Amino acid sequence: MKRPVREQSGKEFAAAVGRALRRASKTARKTARMYGTPVYIWRDGKVVAEKP
């Protein structure tokens, strides 16, 4: 059974996107820590590799 589509305001949508991005970044950092790979982030106008 399909769920009914709920209309979201712009602010609700932006908040949901922010939460999703924070959740995704947390998972990416966790995965990078497990495998010892760097995490690439945007800092001061440049792409920088950081250890998680």
Residue 10 confidence (pLDDT): 85
Residue 45 confidence (pLDDT): 96
Diameter of the chain measured on Cα atoms: 47
- 8 A C-beta contact, residue 40 and residue 49: yes
- The full set of domain ranges for the chain reads 10-50
Reading the chain (52 residues) residue by residue, the pLDDT tens digits are 777 777 778 889 999 999 999 999 999 999 999 999 999 999 999 999 999 8
- 8 A C-beta contact, residue 38 and residue 28: no
CB 39: neighbour CB atoms within 10 A? 15
Residue 46 confidence (pLDDT): 97
- 8 A C-beta contact, residue 38 and residue 50: yes
What is the three-class DSSP state of 49? Answer: strand
